[in-house]
Structure 1
Amino acid sequence: MPDLGGISPSLSVTLFLASALVIGVAGTRLTGVSDVLAERTGLGEALIGAVLLGATTSLSGIVTSVSAAALGDAELAVSNAVGGIAAQTVFLAVADAAYRRANLEHAAASPANLAQGALLVTLLAIPVMAFSGPEITLWGVHPATILIVAAYLFGLRIISRAQTKPMWGAVQTPETQNEEEEENNDHENTSTRALWLRFALLAPTIGVAGWVVARTGVNISEQTGLSATFVGGVLTAVATSLPELVTSVAAVRRGALTLAVGGIIGGNAFDTIFLAFSDVAYREGSIYHAVSEQQLYLISLTVMLTGLLLMGLLRREKHGIANIGFESFLILLLYLGSFAFLAFD
């Protein structure tokens, strides 16, 4: 790919915005294709959000973090990964506002979604341990990287069992909607082979756009003087998370409430693997020891946002402030306040 390091500030911003638009459009279409393929191949509903939906809509974020790490920008790589998780949690608050019947966390509570949230908090604890522990690497890779991948795969097994053989369940109310009641007529007349072809074409499109976002994000950081943590945690994280925003709002509008929440939380758990990939791509040692304490701040913020979301799923308030749950209101408040603080740091 061409080097974008010497382009002007205005061109950097133009390419950044254009790539963000490509990610939003292509990511949305890829999500629709993935959803239908998941149904036709018989994958469980929890795995749609945790693996297929989460992985495909996260392609741009993976490329952004890995590209930044390969370029030696550890701050941007880590802040994009963690900032993306925070941004996508905020997107659930936006989706909550789009569902007028009741608070989204009330209507979409399920054992699988709670298990995914618990898995996410566990996965986020691993890089914190790596940041504060000794700098140990094996062929340039920190043991925490291996642990993140292993914990994620083990967590998928727990989520699958929580979906197929739940030991307890949320109380059903008139506002609760079961995913089994929803029908997906998207691509009804399209063959499975044609859907896989569309998948194969859209996936690299998002990947290339993600690389451009990463490279122009580095330029914007250098040319404007904004910290790499702020650029990665806000600009590139939000840009590469556009598919999740559009997907969650669209899922809520068609009544697929559990899928909307599961797609975000499951995608967030998958996004922790960005850190593992970035550590492998970063060739100057452990990426966990090449970043500032601002990354610990971002991870702490993300754990707090996830904890609030889990409390909302457990409390299941029917109506709250401005017709969104208390947790959605607090998530928005904390997110905006925290990144305003980072902008002036």
Structure 2
Amino acid sequence: MPELPLSFALGLFVVAAATIAFIGTKLTSVADVLADRTGLGEAIAGAVLLGATTSAAGTVTSVTAAATGNIDLAYANSLGGIAAQTAFLALADIAYRKANLEHAAADPTNLSQSALLILLLSVPMIAGVLPPVTVFGVHPASIILIAIYIFGLRLGRQDRDQPMWKPFDTAETRHDVPEEDEKGRSTLNLALSFAGMVIVVAIAGYVVAETGTTIAQKTGISGSVVGALMTATVTSLPELVTTLAAVRRGALQLALGGIIGGNTFDVLFLSAADVAYRDGSIYNAIDPSTQFWALVGIAMTAVLLLGLIRRERYGFANVGFETVGILVLYVGAVLASALAL
């Protein structure tokens, strides 16, 4: 694709983005039904089914970019996607008019997953200032990230099955209500359909990575900026679409869990990218300015976590203070990156 004209690369980029957005609309309803049939519940299903699968495009983008040596794009795509997806959650709060979304979707699993995300985001930053130690070309931090993620999912499942505390119920609190497939499809059929859609999204993600690299090369814009502002936003479109679709269905825990779970899974892009990058540790090779998006992700998640704990019922424009804070942080980060062009 580096030989493609810029206009053609931009066209492919737009087509891939549209494909990701369209398929994303189909994933939510299937995930909601599978959540009930498997007994996972909306919050865990959001973290695992929606979170991991809607991140397929981003995973392919980061791995492809790292394998071709464009490590700044790979790193920024992962961390910039986390910031974009958290901002999408603020948009979902604006779309849900009955109450503050974080109030209505109270669930202990989303609290633990938010804390898990902050922990995961700190690991790459710590690895970046330590000596570039690798084992078979892979930094130990990549293994640590996977171990923490698995442990965090286990904690989330325990929060659902054996909660040590429960949120105070109000008239606006929305509980997980079992859903059924309108077409009467079997669980196996639903799972196969879900897998097929994930494959399509992953292929579209590969196209986004390749065309994003081409656009960066032909325009002279740095890979970190293209990754954070272009590929990260496009590969995060499934999260936006599925979150808004889940809100419309009333699956509020699924909407929150999909974003938070997708964000925790997005940090694992770095583990995959570190394996794909064969010239040493990706954490030590990136431009230090790229870590800016890790700090933005930590700050946005901390604000979200405060909102999930406080559970403000109503606020300005019927949204919580966390939505305002998240949008201010994201817009400020985008403007700062734009000024760096």
TM-score by length of 2: 0.96
AA aligned to 1:328 is: T
The 1:262/1:197 distance shift into structure 2, 3 A limit, reads closer
How far apart, CA to CA, are the structure 1 residues paired with 2:33 and 2:105?
21
Q: Does 1:120 align with 2:109?
A: no
Q: Which segment is superposed worse, 166-175 or 304-313?
A: 166-175
Q: Secondary structure at the match of 1:116?
A: helix
Structure 1 contact 104–257 (Cα < 8 Å) conserved:
yes
- Structure 1 counterpart of 2:39, one-letter code: G
1:82 aligns with 2:76: no
In structure 2, what residue type is equivalent to 1:115?
S
Deviation at 1:130, TM superposition (A): 0.4
Instruction: Measure the CA separation in 1 of the matches of 2:137 and 2:182.
Output: 45
- Which of these residues, 138, 158, 173, is aligned with residue 176 of structure 1? 173
Match of 2:252 in 1: 257
CA 1:343–1:33 in 2, change beyond 3 Å: closer, same or farther?
same
Query: What is the correspondence of 1:190-209 to structure 2 with a 5 Å cutoff?
Result: 190-209=185-204
Instruction: Supply the distance in 2 between the matched residues of 1:267 and 1:214 (Cα, whole angstroms).
Output: 19
1:60 maps onto 2:57 in alignment: yes
2:303 maps to amino acid: L
Asked if the contact 1:76/1:232 (under 8 Å) is kept, the reply is yes
Pairwise CA distance, 1:255: 1.5
**Aligned equivalents of 1:165, 1:113: Cα separation in 2:** 15
**Alpha-carbon distance between aligned partners in 2 of 1:94 and 1:133, rounded to the nearest angstrom:** 37
The DSSP-based 3-state class of the residue aligned with 1:15 is: helix
TM-score, normalised relative to structure 1: 0.95
Does 2:90 match 1:93?
Answer: yes
Residue 217 in structure 1 maps to residue 181 in structure 2: no
Q: Is residue 2:314 matched to residue 1:314?
A: no
Residue 69 of structure 2 corresponds to residue 72 of structure 1: yes
CA contact (8 A) 2:33 2:178 kept: no
Give, in whole Å, the separation in 2 of the partners of 1:213 and 1:43.
32
Quote how far apart the aligned CAs of 1:318 are.
1.6
**8 Å Cα contact 1:31-1:56 kept in structure 2:** no
Q: How much has 1:28 moved relative to structure 2?
A: 2.6
Instruction: Give the C-alpha shift of residue 289 in structure 1.
Output: 1.0
Write the letter of the residue equivalent to 2:55: S
Q: State the Cα deviation string for residues 264-323 of structure 1 (Å, max 9, x = none).
A: 111111111111001001111100011111222110000000000001111111222222
CA distance in 2: counterparts of 1:42 and 1:167, whole angstroms: 19
Counterparts of 1:178 and 1:52, CA distance in 2: 19
RMSD, aligned α-carbons: 1.4
1:80-159 matched pairs, under 5 angstroms: 80-159=77-156
- Residue 229 of structure 1: aligned partner: 224
TM-aligned CA deviation for residue 75 of structure 1? 0.3
One-letter amino acid of the counterpart of residue 339, structure 1: V
Task: Give the Cα–Cα distance (whole angstroms) in 2 for the partners of residues 188 and 24 of structure 1.
Answer: 23
Q: Is 1:327 the equivalent of 2:322?
A: yes
Q: What is the DSSP-based 3-state SS (H/G/I as helix, E as strand, rest coil) of the residue aligned with 2:210?
A: helix
Where do 5+ consecutive residues of structure 2 fail to align?
A: none
Deviation at 1:223, TM superposition (A): 1.5
Check 1:335–1:81 CA distance in 2 against 1; reply closer, same or farther (3 A cut): same
| Aligned partner (choices 5, 8, 30) of residue 8 of structure 1 | 5
The DSSP-based 3-state class of the residue aligned with 2:169 is coil
- How many Å separate the matches in 1 of 2:192 and 2:155? 32
Report the AA paired with residue 218 of structure 1.
T
Shift of 1:184: 2.1
Equivalent residue number for residue 290 of structure 1: 285
Deviations 1:120-157 (A, max 9, x none): 00111110110111100001000000000001001111
Which stretch of structure 1 is more off in the superposition, 229-238 or 140-149? 229-238
TM-superposition CA deviations, 1:170-223 (whole Å, max 9, x none): 1111111111xx242434411233223323322221111100000111111112
- Counterpart contact for 1:36–1:187, Cα < 8 Å: no
Pick from 243, 248, 251 the counterpart of residue 248 of structure 1: 243
Return the offset for 1:24.
Answer: 1.1
User: Which residue pairs with 1:279 in the alignment?
Assistant: 274
Q: Check whether the contact 1:75–1:292 (CA below 8 A) recurs between aligned residues.
A: yes
2:44 corresponds, among 44, 47, 63, to 47
Output the amino acid matched with 1:318. R
Code of the residue aligned with 1:113 in structure 2: it is N
1:266 paired residue number? 261
Change (3 A) 1:83 1:281: same
Aligned length: 340
Query: 1:250/1:199 Cα in 2 relative to 1: closer, same or farther (>3 Å)?
Result: closer
**Aligned counterpart, 1:29:** 26
Displacement after TM superposition at 1:52 (Å): 1.6
